[in-house]
Structure 1
Amino acid sequence: MVQLVHPAREDIALAGVLDALADPMRLRIVKALLGQADCMSMSCTAAAPCPKMAKSTLSNHFRVLREAGLIRTTKKGVEHHNVVREADLNARFPGLLKAILKHAE
């Protein structure tokens, strides 16, 4: 079974977060995940910014977001469900995510 890599809160780096969010598709994925009510998780397919995006491309986007510390992924059956690590990001970089999303519109 594939082990998913999630950096510890203290290992989340500003450069990694900014690099991951520099891609417009990954930014759209994070916005979709944050749009979920009550911080519920979303499957990769549900959070996909484009319905016709290749699964390999989508998988790569989620890997980059996960390894940068932006999302936490858990496996539920055959699906991977994702949630933004908002508390961890705000603890490391207060207000950063909110500012990036505000100015990205």
Structure 2
Amino acid sequence: MPDTEGHPEVNEIELVDVFAALADPLRLKVVRDLLAEPDGVERHCTSFGLPVSKSTRSHHFKVLREAGLIRQVDRGNSRMATLRRADLETRFPGLLSSLS
């Protein structure tokens, strides 16, 4: 069962949900940008430079979070995103390396 923020447990991450989330070019860009960062780096959601409104950006991050691709945490009045690299590698070995 996902936590209160909508993050699924590792064994609940479904490949079809991951693929659906990655099918959007902007969400794929977010994941690729996070892949280029060292493991564990947190980025502010606005730092990705997505050319969309705030509400649309929030929707994209919600889809990524609920698919299990990212973890979001609140840091003061900011929301930070980090790639769930270890969880995804455990669940689907090699998937992330195929995205870079």
TM-score for both structures, normalised by structure 1: 0.86
- Greater than 3 Å deviation, 4+ residue runs: none
Aligned-residue sequence identity (percent) comes to 46
Structure 1 partner of 2:85: 86
Give the counterpart letter for 2:42 in structure 1.
Answer: S
Are residue 76 (structure 1) and residue 53 (structure 2) matched?
Answer: no
Structure 2 partner of 1:11: 12
Structure 1 partner of 2:40: 39
The one-character-per-residue Cα deviations of 1:18-64 (angstroms, maximum 9, x if unpaired) are 000010000001112222235310010012333xx200010000000
Secondary structure class of the residue paired with 2:73 = strand
8 Å contact from structure 2 (residues 39, 85) kept in 1: no
Secondary structure class of the residue paired with 2:8 = coil
Distance 1:48 1:19 in 2: 21
Are residue 49 (structure 1) and residue 50 (structure 2) matched?
Answer: yes
Give the counterpart letter for 1:90 in structure 2.
Answer: E
Secondary structure class of the residue paired with 1:59 = helix
Which 5+ residue runs of structure 1 have no aligned equivalent?
A: none
8 Å contact from structure 1 (residues 73, 83) kept in 2: yes
8 Å contact from structure 2 (residues 18, 69) kept in 1: yes
Which 5+ residue runs of structure 2 have no aligned equivalent?
A: none
Aligned length: 97
